A and B are shown apart, each in its own frame.
Chain A
Amino acid sequence: MNENPADLVPELALLGVAVLGLLTGSWLPRRRQWIVALLAATACTTGLVATAVTMATDRERTVFSAAFAVDTATGIGRLVVLTGLLLVIGMSVGTVRNHERETEYWVLLLLSGAGTLALTGADDLLMLFAAYLLAGLPAYALTAFAKDGRGTEAALKYYLTGALLGTLMLAGTALLYGAGHTTHYRGLSTALPTAPYGLVAVGLIGVLAGLLFKSGAVPAHFWVPDVTEGAPVPVAAYVATLPKVGGLIALYRLLHQAFSGSDVNWPLLLAILAGVTMTLGNLAAFFQTSVTRLLAYSTISQAGYLLMALAVATRSDLAQKGLLFYLAAYTVTNLGAFAVVTALPHARTLTDYRGLARRRPGLAAVLVVCLLGLVGTPPTGVFLGKLEVFSATLDGGFTWLAVLAVANTVASLFYYLRWFGPLFVTHDSAPARVQEVAGRSSAATAYVAATLSVALGVAGQAVLTLSEGPLLR
């Protein structure tokens, strides 16, 4: 049995620095609390290096009674989450600088990040639930970080939804344990095919509830728009993007590893969920005027496209690399769009972006890249991700779902273009103070994210190669 902590460097780095940061922060004067941000960034970088080393050398192993798998999906998940965390840190610097609770912000972010990492590697239902809680609880607190009315309401809604669906998830875990007499995926995969059908089906739905909540997918999506609008924008960026990575990889692993032999028709269930999620997200995004709400519904629709890969998890060899690549591309692209919103704190509605291309050509270019990226226009990373996911869906036999996704992509173009159009208005642009840029770090983060997004599209081969390895049981 492998209990070597060196296999968990990324997770431990985040947890360790969270504790260290909390201690350091309580002794630091307020204007020096940026040191904690630096520590947090160091932790992420350490994690990235460790992941790179693990993936470059011996790639696969399971740790701690095989409750946690270090394999392809975990590796890519770590790379994506840690890169995402670095981007979130980059765009937060300007917002929380010299805030009275700055240290707490970084610590909560690190803890939630560690939970998300744990989600990607969880190979056991109890581990999965623990990771669910660790990823969620700090995020609830972060949502209310500004201590204003809207933030508190958003946090309450987020927390209540999370608690309710978490309970369902726990109940589902109990049922599956009852059906399979184990919580470990490998054990479940042998036990579930012979277990009572109803028990397995209801148990799966319970666990699904929690993971769909993390992914922001229908029917557990109600919190997304409220939290995205109520929370501080960098927190919104985090909450709308990274837990999705954790949730979807966890779900993929669960379905692929534990339910591969089960006769519960989960592919169809997930295909339907995917279709409903993308359609609902897109329709609701149509007439939004607030940029954060628009992005919120856009992330719901993106969750729908991602779920397509899960529906064909065991039916197509293309599903895994499609999912992992799409997640990587989606993370940088979505964070890029959020970084622009953070950089322009006074511009909250679509009309506030009128004439941005003239005044801030750089930020407008980032928005163009990111919004076109979210549509799936080449040569951005999301295009390649969509290509892989569509291929996987057709390969897995869900032609109707692929056609629906195409229809949805077209529909999504409409609202992305509604944001897109005002940027290039030449007369009657928004007042200059609305488009004031807050600090340099958010803008810099936006440039980095947009560059990564295009780089993933043009030279995506590296990530695709990495994401083709097998999963461990």
Chain B
Amino acid sequence: MLSVVTFLPLLVCAVLPLLPRTVPDQGYVWVWIATAAADFALVVALWAGYDTHGGTQYEQRARWIPSAGAGYHVGVDGLSLPLVALTCLLFLAVAVYSLREKRRVRSYVCLFLFLQTVGIGLFVALDLILFFVFFDLSIVAMFFVIAGWGHGERARAAALKFFLYTFVGSLALLLGFIGLYLAADPHTFDIVDLTRDNPLAGRGLYAALVLLAIGVGLAVKTPTVPFHTWLPPAHSDAPAAGSAILAGVLLKMGTYGFVRIAMPLLPGSWRRYATVIVVVGAVSVVYGALVALAQTDFKRMIAYTSVTHMGYVVLAIGAAGTLAGADAQARSLAVTGAVTQMVSHGLITGALFLLAGVLYDRGRTHAMGAYSGLAAHTPRFAAVTAAGAFAGLGIPGFSGFIAEFQIFTGALASHTIATAIALTGVLITAALFLTALRRMFMGAPSLPRTVPTGGIADLRGAETVSTVALLAVALVIGVAPRWLLDVIEPAGRTLTGLVAR
């Protein structure tokens, strides 16, 4: 079942090139929408059949390369199921949004289908090599998306930078994985076996080096300060759909790696260096927010807020590794908040990037200074963007509030100062979103000269459906989060139990 969900998009991707050349561009996008919808329906079925107290479910295990210690092992638990669902939903939204795409549509659809398999595959993988395969392939596919459909020549440079940075990270990760593999007896890459055996318990420096390698690899992908510099150019030069996937799915690969691999497999080292992780998280929050505040480009601003939001996640999982001065419930709350934040950020930032794409489509620029009084011309666009911005700054009623509330409550007891510093991030984020809204949508109407004489067009059907759907789910989580938290909480408790070993 899980393998079907994972490989269905890849299968369709393999079939697409065989279709006759006479199929119109729109035809491919419709095939994509149908595939994404089918995949999403399957995930809903998975969710419906998921037992919230059952641990890892829908497991499949097959021999793959036993000599190398690698196997095909997939399964979902409360940490991964929400992210799988997020991935499917986001790809469905992006598929609908892409109905307007006109450039080399067949390859474009193929790439995104491939990327969807890679995204789902990473979240269901329970084997380090399988995880790594998807991790690396996500880099390759996203490289092509940015280089092939980005904004002009700069996109090529941004794609290269993205590839080089994240590839360094992935190789560091690989070294860490090999370190784990060699420590286990018998040698294995299986995450479940490694979690049970805890092979690096009491291995001092060796364990610290492995954690360093894995930590750096995941930190680049997340990204946290100081490994975030690849993110702004990659985001601002990627096509809107690519940015949405990059922010919504690919960034989660880093933070998910922390909760899936780094914490349960290296509990001792994680506890020992928890303070470092908390500090990195808090710095990411404040630094990302401050730099975002200084941006004049709408899309770059959203990109930097991603650093902030991922900083909250890092802060939470760092706090979950501090046993002193915090009860188990607070730590578990922090982990739950971290996973909720991953989902929430995927939904909200995905929508915001798609909206930035609309802005670029209309005015050929992301510069906020070029627009003002947009609300008069495009009321629907203004309304949806405002909703997205408020969701992004964590106002109650949206999923971001639920996530951040849990993170701060969970982290406050163990790291009071860091949490207090990180709280200022919320304030700065609010300021920057409100400033952006005021500059672009209020005041005397003026448009960049690149806008055609017919005036600026409001949100079209496909654009409205895709962005509103994402924000609606964020709203549902914000108002009635129980169905999501019921899935995450048991897994969060299990994880804090593992870290406390």
Tell me if A321 and B140 are in contact (CB < 8 A): no
Q: State whether A378 and B136 are in contact (beta carbons under 8 Å apart), knowing that A387-B174, A406-B174 are contacts in the complex.
A: yes
**Which of these, A390, A426, A465, contacts B175 with CB under 8 Å?**
A390
Per-residue interface assignment for chain A, residues 386 to 413, with 1 indicating a CB less than 8 Å from any chain B CB and 0 otherwise: 0110110011000100110010011001
Tell me if B175 and A413 are in contact (CB < 8 A): no
Tell me if B164 and A394 are in contact (CB < 8 A): no
B104 proximity list for chain A (CB < 8 A)? 426
Per-residue interface assignment for chain A, residues 448 to 473, with 1 indicating a CB less than 8 Å from any chain B CB and 0 otherwise: 00000000000011001100100000
Q: How far is the CB of A372 from chain B (nearest CB, A)?
A: 7
Tell me if A409 and B171 are in contact (CB < 8 A): yes
Q: State whether A321 and B67 are in contact (beta carbons under 8 Å apart), knowing that A378-B133, A403-B175, A421-B147 are contacts in the complex.
A: yes
Tell me if A388 and B164 are in contact (CB < 8 A): no
Closest to B133 in A: A378
Closest to A406 in B: B171
Most central of A417, A421, A464 by chain B CB within 10 Å: A417
Complex CA–CA separation, A48 to B59 (angstroms) = 40
Stretch in contact with the other chain, from B33-41, B74-82, B176-184? B176-184
Complex CA–CA separation, A134 to B104 (angstroms) = 52
Tell me if B132 and A395 are in contact (CB < 8 A): no
Complex CA–CA separation, A409 to B133 (angstroms) = 16
Most central of A383, A390, A391, A424 by chain B CB within 10 Å: A391
Q: How far is the CB of B129 from chain A (nearest CB, A)?
A: 7
B160 close to chain A: CB less than 8 A: yes
Tell me if A394 and B129 are in contact (CB < 8 A): no
B469 close to chain A: CB less than 8 A: no
Complex CA–CA separation, A461 to B65 (angstroms) = 5
B232 proximity list for chain A (CB < 8 A)? none
Complex CA–CA separation, A95 to B133 (angstroms) = 38
Closest to A461 in B: B65
B273 close to chain A: CB less than 8 A: no
Tell me if A394 and B175 are in contact (CB < 8 A): yes
Q: State whether A387 and B136 are in contact (beta carbons under 8 Å apart), knowing that A421-B147, A464-B67 are contacts in the complex.
A: no
Q: How far is the CB of A229 from chain B (nearest CB, A)?
A: 26
B136 proximity list for chain A (CB < 8 A)? 377-378, 383
B66 proximity list for chain A (CB < 8 A)? 461
B168 close to chain A: CB less than 8 A: yes
Q: Size class of A's contact patch?
A: 20 to 34
Q: How far is the CB of B245 from chain A (nearest CB, A)?
A: 19
Q: How far is the CB of B144 from chain A (nearest CB, A)?
A: 7
B221 proximity list for chain A (CB < 8 A)? none
Tell me if B65 and A410 are in contact (CB < 8 A): no
Per-residue interface assignment for chain B, residues 35 to 78, with 1 indicating a CB less than 8 Å from any chain A CB and 0 otherwise: 00000000000000000000000000001111110000000000
Q: How far is the CB of B258 from chain A (nearest CB, A)?
A: 21
B133 proximity list for chain A (CB < 8 A)? 378-379, 383
Q: State whether A464 and B160 are in contact (beta carbons under 8 Å apart), knowing that A377-B136, A378-B132, A406-B172 are contacts in the complex.
A: no
Q: State whether A394 and B178 are in contact (beta carbons under 8 Å apart), knowing that A388-B68, A417-B163 are contacts in the complex.
A: yes
A327 close to chain B: CB less than 8 A: no
B242 close to chain A: CB less than 8 A: no
B7 close to chain A: CB less than 8 A: no
Tell me if B163 and A413 are in contact (CB < 8 A): yes
A465 proximity list for chain B (CB < 8 A)? 67
Q: State whether A424 and B129 are in contact (beta carbons under 8 Å apart), knowing that A394-B175, A461-B65 are contacts in the complex.
A: no
A40 close to chain B: CB less than 8 A: no
B394 close to chain A: CB less than 8 A: no
A222 close to chain B: CB less than 8 A: no
**Which of these, A372, A410, A414, contacts B171 with CB under 8 Å?**
A410
Complex CA–CA separation, A302 to B65 (angstroms) = 23
B223 close to chain A: CB less than 8 A: no
B148 close to chain A: CB less than 8 A: yes
Complex CA–CA separation, A452 to B163 (angstroms) = 26
Q: State whether A410 and B179 are in contact (beta carbons under 8 Å apart), knowing that A377-B140, A421-B156, A464-B68 are contacts in the complex.
A: no
**Which of these, B144, B147, B181, contacts A391 with CB under 8 Å?**
B181
**Which of these, B64, B68, B147, B174, contacts A424 with CB under 8 Å?**
B147
B167 close to chain A: CB less than 8 A: yes
B290 close to chain A: CB less than 8 A: no
A468 proximity list for chain B (CB < 8 A)? 67
A384 close to chain B: CB less than 8 A: yes
Q: How far is the CB of A387 from chain B (nearest CB, A)?
A: 6
Per-residue interface assignment for chain B, residues 206 to 222, with 1 indicating a CB less than 8 Å from any chain A CB and 0 otherwise: 00010000000000000
Per-residue interface assignment for chain A, residues 278 to 311, with 1 indicating a CB less than 8 Å from any chain B CB and 0 otherwise: 0000000000000000000000000000000000
B442 close to chain A: CB less than 8 A: no
Tell me if A378 and B178 are in contact (CB < 8 A): no
B137 close to chain A: CB less than 8 A: yes
**Which of these, A321, A378, A388, A413, contacts B137 with CB under 8 Å?**
A378
Q: How far is the CB of B7 from chain A (nearest CB, A)?
A: 13
Closest to A399 in B: B209
Complex CA–CA separation, A73 to B148 (angstroms) = 44
Tell me if B148 and A424 are in contact (CB < 8 A): yes
Complex CA–CA separation, A413 to B168 (angstroms) = 10
Complex CA–CA separation, A394 to B187 (angstroms) = 13
**Which of these, B67, B148, B156, B182, contacts A394 with CB under 8 Å?**
B182
A402 proximity list for chain B (CB < 8 A)? 175, 178
Tell me if A390 and B174 are in contact (CB < 8 A): yes
Complex CA–CA separation, A48 to B147 (angstroms) = 43
Those of B84-104 within 8 Å (CB) of chain A: 104
Most central of B132, B156, B178, B209 by chain A CB within 10 Å: B178
Complex CA–CA separation, A399 to B174 (angstroms) = 13
Q: State whether A461 and B129 are in contact (beta carbons under 8 Å apart), knowing that A394-B178, A421-B160 are contacts in the complex.
A: no
Complex CA–CA separation, A468 to B67 (angstroms) = 9
**Which of these, B132, B148, B167, B178, contacts A410 with CB under 8 Å?**
B167
Closest to B17 in A: A361
Q: State whether A406 and B175 are in contact (beta carbons under 8 Å apart), knowing that A387-B129, A413-B164, A421-B156 are contacts in the complex.
A: yes
Tell me if A394 and B179 are in contact (CB < 8 A): yes
Q: How far is the CB of A398 from chain B (nearest CB, A)?
A: 12
B144 proximity list for chain A (CB < 8 A)? 424
Tell me if B175 and A461 are in contact (CB < 8 A): no
Closest to A378 in B: B133
Q: How far is the CB of A106 from chain B (nearest CB, A)?
A: 37
B residues contacting A by CB (< 8 A) are 63-68, 104, 129, 132-133, 136-137, 140, 144, 147-148, 156, 160, 163-164, 167-168, 171-172, 174-175, 178-179, 181-182, 209
Q: List 29 A-B contacts (CB under 8 A).
A: A321-B67, A372-B140, A377-B136, A378-B129, A383-B136, A387-B174, A387-B178, A390-B175, A390-B178, A391-B181, A391-B182, A394-B179, A394-B182, A402-B175, A406-B172, A410-B164, A413-B163, A413-B164, A413-B167, A417-B160, A421-B156, A424-B148, A426-B148, A460-B65, A460-B68, A461-B63, A461-B67, A461-B68, A464-B67
Q: 17 extra interchain contacts, Cβ-Cβ under 8 A, other than A390-B175, A464-B65?
A: A377-B137, A377-B140, A378-B133, A379-B137, A383-B133, A387-B68, A387-B178, A391-B181, A394-B179, A395-B182, A402-B175, A402-B178, A413-B163, A421-B160, A460-B68, A465-B67, A468-B67
